[in-house]
Structure 1
């Protein structure tokens, strides 16, 4: 099924008509070279530069085939090296299945530490994926580095907030910065008759350049072990294959989709007061998320947590007993943890005594500045350290007292100048660290037989996190409507990561980061709650500066709006359960890009601010201030009904609909209006 075509000094390898690589002497498929990088980290933000000393096109090659049609190709620095059969790179193609082909790569000279690979495309072919991308859905026309980091504050070099963040904390970020990068992308063939995806098996820094008309150039700072192609006729088929490859997530438990998770961080008395009041106001509540369960510390950034991961008796007295009381009311309790331990807490001393902390190169303590406090790095290259964190902290201090979920924060902070126990290069471990962190959390659940019952949620990720992490959240968006760091960024984040096998996504309602006078408004909170209604999990957050920012209980209108959104969210549960089943069996995300089901409609290729919820509902959140109308594109080949007005529209056009607060643009496929799992929801929208 692999086809090799060779003519003079050119060749191509294709699979059932889909071109994998194309090589000519003047435009080689591979370039190798030598580079010298500089990487400076400041609190999870990286300034990365590369000096390329050499870049050599590998034009000389020799092809070998055998009876089983295995294709192996040696590449040489030049014809002289070919004459003495001294290859610098060998690739081999293997058909893994009728939808998956792997190209292994073997380097023969470690002095060359850079590789560029070109894959064929055409000028108009869209590109999707890349992990969790928060600025753009179609990646065509830009380059995307793959390095897990803080995404930045503002993420737009033209704005004051980004400039100020850059000046003060080196933390402004840009369009490509993300907690969860992944060197995997999806595109369409030139004939548009097939869909393909390419994944690079590497944890090293990579940069994919999608700016060229006839090729993509994939750059790696270490030779990847292989490239994998997935080929199918549909995007849904590709997503099924990708989700199988990385591992599918467990089902979300019923309790977390059955109401809002209230994020509170002022101690038990505050949480009890807010819960009682919310229930009286009609808010459907599934859980309390008290991230300050382990205590707090005040910093110039705002209210931070005490990173020791034990219940703080002063803030949460008799926590185990209180959790039991909450459970009797069908309310779960969620907490917070991350893979670092503050040096002024007892857990750090325990981990250090056991030899489980990463060190300086000379073996001395390595402590990371997290903003006015320092932490040690638990070394997850030590199997016993992973076991210790799982058992000693997550199981004993959390699960054993009834905590049934938590934010598993960070993962993207591994410094690149420390010493790991296995002597591996931290630059090659850095991208892998979120996956190791997810494994620690997933192991704790499995050990207590809580997989599919308890839930942890992460913002950091990389290839393979899908298998371990049951729920993503969009990270620390600014508390505003800004284009590259506000409400709207949550949508492409869900869509891009969803295409790569992450079925479940949600965000902090109202955003998190409040700096430089930027504060949350009631309007922002209400619009964010409207969007969160159409995600599997609704969860609020008081943000980093709670006293300066709007909270939903401070305004009667916002409170009533939030209560209604939670009631509609609960009314959607029967429908969401069908989507969870689909995610479990097929890996399809709950929030889907329009192109997933309408891939022949080119108008859907770039849409980043609308999505399908399942296949029946189309959601177009309002993400700008003082906007009471929205234009919405309705895909071709289908008629759509606007749920608030019952007006029917034919697909293939852009329509403008009124969108006052409380009535975000939502459409249902006309032939699904009688879907019984949507009956209660549709009825409640008319109430």
Structure 2
């Protein structure tokens, strides 16, 4: 017996091999390395797991051997690992797949990634920062987690959700992954080197330069009179107040949250006032300083008399701005900040980061507030499409959205009565402006019944009949649903009786902004019972009346706007899974899960459609899209939407939209109704926003007053009206193209709204372009976001040639051009080799089948396109009920082949006609659906080939 026990001990020890006084174990899908810690905070164990030939999981823990993390984001990647090999040297363990070589230092556990040919892709940085720092939240011990990586000097970084500081490439900046109204945190970083890192952590996280921002007082400050110690702050009251200005020294500008509103000078009212901060700043370092300014109202910032920021944001919903400026060590740099709060309660702050230390210039890091382990996935690809596909392999596929969702949606904050909503629907149909969906925003309930899911009978006397009338006009209804309950209503009592509510806001008596103010809270979406009960409420009270889709608002969760992050955590604590600090960012994912899983179980034949204000890793698997939140109505804000949407797309979230026209407006637009130049500016802003919005994945107008319906923006003869309707009709003409792209989203992990780096990554000039993009494989979209613009400078990527969509004129790629951009049109170019299918003129997406398709073919290089169709509203495509018609063009032979139809589904179109228009360098063709085609092909599913002249 004694010898048997010794044998068991020997076998257990021998499973950990010891090349350099270090131990490792070979697993079925990777290796587990045990380290001798050199210092507190180092990993004790490092696990490298092969998920696929191109996906590697790295997991490390500070003490105990890692188990299987319970991920909220990751649902895939648990299958048997592909074939891989392990090579061992004295210093290194090497995991080799068909596509990757992963080296792990036997002494430090540092992981390095190489391609199959041995070229380094990225590697973890050695030391420099503790990986694990013990921390306790609500008596629960856990760790702050940090990991830095060494990167190439010319590498660019994207993704990470939706951020609205106007950045496309995050290189050199800090990205704050904290859920806010208009900020969506998705911890998936994508590199221009065709890899991504999915950081599997649910807490608030920083990426990039993760050093803490410093308050302004960390610089040497001087007043405008050169007196050292502080800037000169001048508070000027509204003219009618008769108050003298208040002048005082201020070391910091920190009025970011509700809690700091008390720090303004005693007796000073922001309403109608103005504030200046003036003086000089002096740094003890030379180099680029980066500044972060959360703010609302009108703000301008000058450094060395250079205007670095000039923007407006609604007072009640501050946004983030960043700018940078070079400071010289020991030199005084003049600073001036002008702030018009534009409200009785408004917010502003200013912080900075000193120059990045030379040793860290070629490093980026992730740093999270809470986690029991360090857990990330390295995702590699031959291109960025493969990287996004790898992300979806891990976190779940995005569905094909219902076809109606790809049409136009009209929304307003808000339709206050049943008659108001129905009259808008009637007007669209009367004017024959295409539309598929009307959205009913919040407050359709009685004032004191938030969370009841019941219509106010005085304003909506027959909600079921209202929805039926919409359906009879071939319109869908999406409705706003919040995870919020007023204290004391029946649904509150139901959730409270089961312990499914966050109670801190109730205990603190936190009131909202409605009427007299009501105390409320949110349900705990991390609790499976809470999710089930929430869906049952929606099913019973809204779905039963015919509601088609769900608008999930305030899903950050925004229990109390503009309070500190610490207070926000307190208000959503504890969660079912543990302290809110560990799970803060994942609430929108869990809330969407409630509706998706509930509806798919109870109504499996109906595609779920969710629009939510916030996002997290894996959101796409729940039939969900995101929108960019409560943004302001300015040309500057329109410009910021473009990189925000592009980075959301690179985060693996394929369906994204923005409030066309912006949500909240300056006084000049609506108090009173705009007149003169303000009215024309409003019309031009909406025209440009509608032009851009036509080519975002989801096409949706929304906002406060003035109303956003085209017929409320301008009269029928106005060029604004004509332009908006033109692009609306163009969107519907493009429906065969657009719906084919939604098919690619599911079947090929495709992306509709495509940053140029996705398709032209070899062209270094596109790395920082955040105001142009490809819509699908063929259309180069170039939004106009400056008033009075009649041209726009844009870049035509190299490696292909281009045609103007409107007149078919040819342009070489690889050049910066000045394109015509008159008020009515936005520059759009078509890639050589493109095959663009245009369908019939429609009033709604299901009005008639695309039995006649006008096929524009653009010469100059080979091309291909798959025309995709399915049953439009159900999930039968998951079972194979769909068709693809492969269409290819050979530029050398000038032959177009409409290939054999693949697949089938019930009631599919058996026969159709293709009208073919051929465009090439010597034969420009204008976009004209009434023109006689050069050739016509009758198609019955069998392949047809024609030569183009």
TM-score tier, shorter chain, comes to 0.7 to 0.9
- Cα displacement string for residues 563-592 of structure 1 (whole angstroms, at most 9, x for unaligned residues): 222211111100001101110112222100
Aligned to 1:277: 427
In structure 2, runs of 5+ residues without a counterpart are 1-19, 64-131, 136-142, 210-355, 560-567, 671-680, 840-852, 857-925, 932-949
Whether 1:90 aligns to 2:238 is no
Match of 2:609 among 437, 447, 455: 455
Whether 1:74 aligns to 2:35 is yes
Distance (whole Å) between structure 2 residues aligned to residue 632 and residue 127 of structure 1 = 22
Measured after TM superposition, the shift of residue 232 of structure 1 is 1.7
Aligned to 2:386: 237
Match of 1:381 among 521, 526, 536: 526
> Contact between 2:669 and 2:682, CA under 8 Å: does it hold in 1?
no
Match of 1:349 among 466, 471, 493: 493
Distance (whole Å) between structure 2 residues aligned to residue 185 and residue 207 of structure 1 = 11
Aligned to 1:222: 370
Whether 1:417 aligns to 2:570 is yes
Whether 1:390 aligns to 2:535 is yes
**Cα 1:339–1:446 shift into 2, 3 Å:** same
> Contact between 2:198 and 2:391, CA under 8 Å: does it hold in 1?
no
Aligned to 1:99: 54
Whether 1:528 aligns to 2:528 is no
> Contact between 2:181 and 2:613, CA under 8 Å: does it hold in 1?
no
Whether 1:64 aligns to 2:23 is yes
Distance (whole Å) between structure 2 residues aligned to residue 501 and residue 253 of structure 1 = 19
Distance (whole Å) between structure 1 residues aligned to residue 833 and residue 593 of structure 2 = 42
- Cα displacement string for residues 652-676 of structure 1 (whole angstroms, at most 9, x for unaligned residues): 1111111112211111112225656
> Contact between 1:259 and 1:538, CA under 8 Å: does it hold in 2?
yes
Aligned to 2:189: 185
Q: Secondary structure at the match of 2:147?
A: strand
Aligned to 2:650: 499
Match of 1:327 among 471, 475, 478: 471
Written as runs of structure 1 = structure 2, the 5 A alignment for 1:198-597 is 198-210=197-209, 212-223=360-371, 224-263=373-412, 264-292=414-442, 294-295=444-445, 306-343=450-487, 345-360=489-504, 365=507, 368-371=510-513, 372-392=517-537, 394-413=538-557, 415-418=568-571, 419-420=573-574, 422=576, 424-449=578-603, 453-482=607-636, 486-514=637-665, 521-543=682-704, 546=705, 552-556=711-715, 557=718, 558-597=720-759
**Cα 1:90–1:525 shift into 2, 3 Å:** same
Measured after TM superposition, the shift of residue 220 of structure 1 is 2.2
Measured after TM superposition, the shift of residue 74 of structure 1 is 2.1
> Contact between 1:498 and 1:588, CA under 8 Å: does it hold in 2?
no
> Contact between 2:411 and 2:441, CA under 8 Å: does it hold in 1?
no
> Contact between 1:142 and 1:209, CA under 8 Å: does it hold in 2?
yes
Measured after TM superposition, the shift of residue 250 of structure 1 is 1.6
Measured after TM superposition, the shift of residue 430 of structure 1 is 1.4
Cα-Cα RMSD: 2.9
> Contact between 1:343 and 1:376, CA under 8 Å: does it hold in 2?
yes
- Cα displacement string for residues 183-239 of structure 1 (whole angstroms, at most 9, x for unaligned residues): 2211145xxxxx211121111222112564322122222344411101122111111
Whether 1:127 aligns to 2:157 is yes
> Contact between 1:521 and 1:549, CA under 8 Å: does it hold in 2?
no
> Contact between 1:509 and 1:529, CA under 8 Å: does it hold in 2?
yes
> Contact between 1:457 and 1:472, CA under 8 Å: does it hold in 2?
yes
TM-score, with structure 2 as normaliser? 0.57
Q: Secondary structure at the match of 2:470?
A: helix
Distance (whole Å) between structure 2 residues aligned to residue 674 and residue 103 of structure 1 = 43
Distance (whole Å) between structure 1 residues aligned to residue 389 and residue 424 of structure 2 = 42
Distance (whole Å) between structure 1 residues aligned to residue 504 and residue 403 of structure 2 = 45
Q: Secondary structure at the match of 1:437?
A: helix
Distance (whole Å) between structure 1 residues aligned to residue 827 and residue 929 of structure 2 = 12
Measured after TM superposition, the shift of residue 649 of structure 1 is 0.7
> Contact between 1:293 and 1:316, CA under 8 Å: does it hold in 2?
no
Written as runs of structure 1 = structure 2, the 5 A alignment for 1:657-668 is 657-668=819-830
Measured after TM superposition, the shift of residue 679 of structure 1 is 3.4
Aligned length: 575
Distance (whole Å) between structure 2 residues aligned to residue 509 and residue 398 of structure 1 = 27
Aligned to 1:149: 180
> Contact between 1:251 and 1:470, CA under 8 Å: does it hold in 2?
no
Written as runs of structure 1 = structure 2, the 5 A alignment for 1:611-626 is 611-626=773-788
- Cα displacement string for residues 79-120 of structure 1 (whole angstroms, at most 9, x for unaligned residues): xx8xxxx97532221222111111111122873633331211
- Cα displacement string for residues 280-324 of structure 1 (whole angstroms, at most 9, x for unaligned residues): 2231111221214623759xxxxxx95532222222221112212
| Structure 1 ranges of 4+ moved more than 6 A | 548-551
Q: Secondary structure at the match of 2:542?
A: helix
> Contact between 2:450 and 2:484, CA under 8 Å: does it hold in 1?
no
Match of 1:632 among 794, 813, 829: 794
> Contact between 2:418 and 2:466, CA under 8 Å: does it hold in 1?
no
Measured after TM superposition, the shift of residue 138 of structure 1 is 0.8
- Cα displacement string for residues 439-473 of structure 1 (whole angstroms, at most 9, x for unaligned residues): 11212321332576342201201122221142221
Measured after TM superposition, the shift of residue 412 of structure 1 is 0.8
Aligned to 2:286: none
Aligned to 1:11: none
Q: Secondary structure at the match of 1:671?
A: coil
Q: Secondary structure at the match of 2:429?
A: helix
Distance (whole Å) between structure 2 residues aligned to residue 75 and residue 202 of structure 1 = 25
Higher Cα radius of gyration: 2
TM-score, with structure 1 as normaliser? 0.78
In structure 1, runs of 5+ residues without a counterpart are 1-60, 152-177, 190-194, 299-304
Aligned to 1:44: none
Distance (whole Å) between structure 2 residues aligned to residue 684 and residue 365 of structure 1 = 64
Distance (whole Å) between structure 1 residues aligned to residue 407 and residue 42 of structure 2 = 60
Q: Secondary structure at the match of 2:593?
A: helix
**Cα 1:369–1:62 shift into 2, 3 Å:** farther
Distance (whole Å) between structure 2 residues aligned to residue 538 and residue 683 of structure 1 = 22
Distance (whole Å) between structure 2 residues aligned to residue 466 and residue 338 of structure 1 = 19
Measured after TM superposition, the shift of residue 429 of structure 1 is 2.0
Distance (whole Å) between structure 2 residues aligned to residue 465 and residue 107 of structure 1 = 30
Aligned to 1:22: none
Aligned to 1:39: none
**Cα 1:74–1:280 shift into 2, 3 Å:** same
Measured after TM superposition, the shift of residue 382 of structure 1 is 2.9
